[in-house]
Amino acid sequence: MVVAGREFRAHRTFREPVVAGEGVTAVRTLGDYHPGVKGTVNDCNIYFLDSGKPGATVLVFGGTHPEEPAANLTAELFVENARVEQGRLLVVIRGNRSASTYTRNGEAYPTFYRIPTPWGEKTYRMGDRCSSPLDSWPDPEVYLHYPTKQMLAYMDIRNLNRAWPGRPDGLLTERTTFAFMELIRREKVDVFIDLHEAELEYPVENTIVAHEKAHGVAAMTSMVLTAQEFPVPIGMEFSPVALRGLSHREVGDNSDAMSMIFEVAEPFLDRIRGITDETLLLEGKDEFVKKAGEHGLLYAPMDDSGWPIAVRVGRHASTVLQTLETFNTMETPERQILVSGVPRYAELVDKGLGAFFRDPSGVPQDRVFYE
């Protein structure tokens, strides 16, 4: 019990250093937008990259489900590398920090994973899909989504992507999404992008799920990336009107922002996987998942090359950048956002993800923040 307790505490209290790149002009916290999360485990950082020139405001959102590491790694990639020449870019790395402080019960997840860089390994917490029961308790027998009262599974009251648009006096996850909605409304966000990964057995895979406000941008982005950049196509799907609580539906319905989520394949999450270790998480190779693909049981291709983390982050990075480029073609010049400095798919696959992360010990400490 003592040994396990030490490991649990080390994981829960571990802090991930992030270097604020040259483009970061301010860092606020979620508690600035709703006192209900101020000082809680979910009072996460909000990174502002403001060009100072009028234009669109875009929010890139990582960490909804911390068992999907390509999401928070992509968000961190933007924080450390992006430069904004017009408009504003807001980035969230750990949207549900609570869910990153423990791992899924009974699944033998590794507690940490490590990304090799030119200056050494960078360590990250592995997490679960939902907020920790230590931070949100008790779960109801049936979760009634607010405000629609749609009935969902009991644990989904701790699932950030079932708790939008939230409520100010709810349990922790509901208060968290309410605070993010306040952020979106107060900062007048024009485009909201929620980053995810999914098991290959799940049909919503390698796709953009778009609210009706974003259908044009998502469709054009999908076509361009499939034709010009990705060896595995990226699709586009409509956000279901009848399924409540998801960000792509509720953000679009409850704000002026066009909302989308991006999905990429993560074999680590498949139920038919083999050993659930750090190697599978980062290399994305598994003989059992591959065999399932040979029998036509998957919604994404799976071969000996697998789905390495650089491929998954590369797809997310290019999809974000192409979405912004597509958005700009549909807006007037004064309503655009111009972002540079972020590597795209081919460069990430060629050089590896770690090549684009900075050494926290080699920069002024006032430029280092913790997740």
Q: In Å, how far are 17, 38, 95, 117 from 41, measured between CA atoms? A: 16, 9, 11, 28
Answer yes or no: is 20 within a domain. Answer: no
| Residues 289-294, mean pLDDT to the nearest whole number | 98
Answer yes or no: is 10 within a domain. Answer: no
Answer yes or no: is 157 within a domain. Answer: no
Q: In Å, how far are 271, 290, 304, 306, 308 from 293, measured between CA atoms? A: 13, 5, 11, 11, 17
pLDDT digits (tens, 9 = 90+) for 228-274: 999 999 999 999 999 999 999 999 999 999 999 999 999 999 999 99
Residue 43 pLDDT grade (very low, low, confident, very high; cuts 50, 70, 90)? very high
8 A C-beta contact, residue 174 and residue 163: yes
| Residues 283-304, mean pLDDT to the nearest whole number | 98
**Ramachandran assignment for 152, one of left (phi > 0), alpha (psi -120 to 50 degrees), beta (any other):** beta
DSSP 240: P
Q: Is 339 helix (H, G, I), strand (E, B) or coil?
A: strand
Q: Is 73 helix (H, G, I), strand (E, B) or coil?
A: helix
CA gap 233, 88 in Å, rounded: 29
Beta pairing, strands 235-238 & 45-50: unpaired
| Residues 12-29, mean pLDDT to the nearest whole number | 98
Answer yes or no: is 275 within a domain. Answer: yes
Task: Give me the domain span that covers residue 206.
Answer: 26-127+175-366
Q: What is the pLDDT of residue 187?
A: 98
CA gap 261, 249 in Å, rounded: 10
Alpha helices by DSSP H, listed for 145-246, are 172-186, 215-228
Number of folded domains that form the chain: 1
Q: What is the pLDDT of residue 283?
A: 98
Q: What is the pLDDT of residue 66?
A: 98
| Residues 152-165, mean pLDDT to the nearest whole number | 98
Answer yes or no: is 287 within a domain. Answer: yes
Answer yes or no: is 15 within a domain. Answer: no
| Residues 207-216, mean pLDDT to the nearest whole number | 98
Answer yes or no: is 6 within a domain. Answer: no
CA gap 251, 272 in Å, rounded: 33
Structure-token pair, residue 171: 């349990």
Answer yes or no: is 266 within a domain. Answer: yes
Question: What's 214's domain CATH number?
Answer: 3.40.630
pLDDT digits (tens, 9 = 90+) for 179-206: 999 999 999 999 999 999 999 999 999 9
pTM for the complete prediction? 0.97
